[in-house]
Structure 1
Amino acid sequence: MSALATAKQASHLFATRRKALRLSQADVATRLGISQSRYSELEAAPERITLDRLITLTALLGLEIVVQDKQTTSRKSEW
Structure 2
Amino acid sequence: MATHVSHPLLTTSQLGQLLVATCKRKKLTQAEVATRLGLSQNRISHLEHHPHEISTKQLLSLCATLELELRTGERATAPLDTSLGW
* TM-score past 0.5 threshold: yes
Instruction: Quote the Cα distance in structure 2 between the aligned partners of 1:21 and 1:72.
Output: 32
Instruction: Name the counterpart of 1:76.
Output: none
SS in 2 for 1:65: coil
Q: TM-score, normalised by structure 1?
A: 0.86
Q: Can you list the C-alpha shifts for 1:28-59, whole angstroms capped at 9, x where unaligned?
A: 01111111001100011111111011001011
Counterparts of 1:26 and 1:57 in 2: how far apart (Å)?
A: 13
Amino acid of the structure 1 residue aligned with 2:11: T
Matches of 2:73 and 2:21, distance apart in 1: 24
RMSD: 1.1
- Cα distance in structure 1, aligned partners of 2:22 and 2:47: 15
Runs of 5+ unmatched residues, structure 2: 1-5, 79-86
User: TM-score when scaled to structure 2?
Assistant: 0.79
Bigger CA radius of gyration: 1
Gaps of 5+ in 1: 74-79
Among 39, 46, 65, the alignment partner of 1:60 is 65
Q: Which amino acid in 2 is paired with 1:21?
A: K
Letter in 2 for 1:50: S
In the TM superposition, residue 11 of structure 1 has moved relative to its aligned partner by 0.8
Q: Which runs of 4+ in 1 moved over 4 A?
A: none
Following superposition, the deviation at residue 72 of structure 1 comes to: 2.1
